[in-house]
Structure 1
Amino acid sequence: MAKGKVSNAVGTLGDYLKEQRTSAQLSLRQLAEQAGVSNPYLSQIERGLRKPSAEVLQQLAKALRISAEQLYIRAGIVSPDEGTGGSVELAVLGDPALTERQKQSLLDVYQSFIAMNIATGEAQPPVADED
C-alpha cells in the first residue's frame, strides 16, 4: 500500500521535472550535466522508474533554479499540509552535518512514529487549513 503512494509521487515528480526542464529550455543531457547526475538516471526519474534521494533533488532544483521544497513535496518526502519552516522533514533534509543515508533513516523513523501515533489514537492526522 505504501509503495503505490511512492509510485504516484515519483510519477508526478517525473512529470513535474520534465515540465520544468522544458520550460527552462534544457535538454535532458544538459540538465543531467548541470545537476551532476547521469543522463540515463535523469531519464529514469522523469519516467517515474527511479526515486531520487533528497540530495539529487536538491541538485536538480539548483540546476533548474526552482525550490527544492517543491521537489520534496512532489517526491512525497515532505507533506504540503505540514507547513513550511518548522517542519521536521525540512530541518532534517537541510542539515549539512547528516549524510543522505542518515537523513533518510531519520525521516523513516519519524514517519513510522507519526503513523503509529495516529493508528493508536495518540495523535490526529494533519488537517489542511480551511481558509
Structure 2
Amino acid sequence: MFACARRPGVGGLESTSIWVKSAGGIRKGFAVVVCRACSDPPCTKVCPTDALVNREGGGVKLHTELCIGCHNCEEACPFGAIFWEDTQNKPEICVYCGYCANYCPCDVIALEEINRPVPNTPDEIKAESEASHAQ
C-alpha cells in the first residue's frame, strides 16, 4: 500500500489505490481491495463529465482535469475500490503499474495474466476467494 502511494511521490496512504485488509483473521487470510477492471465499469456510467472512461483491456482511465469531485464513481463501485484523495478532491484508482507487486516484502501480491473470466461481481469474487482458500 505504501509503494502505491509513493508512485506519485507521496509518503503515507493518502494516495494509495490498493487496500489490504483482514478477511476475518489469520486463518481466513487477507483480501485485496483494488480495481477489478470490470468489463462494463459502473463508475464510468455515473460520471457526469466523462472524466472516467473505459480503458482498452479493462479498467478505467481518469482525466483529472475533467473531474469535478462529485464522488459518484466512488459510490458506484461495487467493490469499494475507488479511494478518495482529499487534498486534490479526486478519486484514486489502480492503474496496474505493478509497484505493489514489485515492492511487497512478502511476495503475496502479483500481477498475472489470467486465462479465465475475471469475477466482476462481489458474489463472484467471494466465491472465487472461498474456493482458493479451500485448496
TM-score w.r.t. length of structure 1? 0.29
Going by fraction, where is strand more abundant, 1 or 2? 2
Going by fraction, where is helix more abundant, 1 or 2? 1
TM-score w.r.t. length of structure 2? 0.28
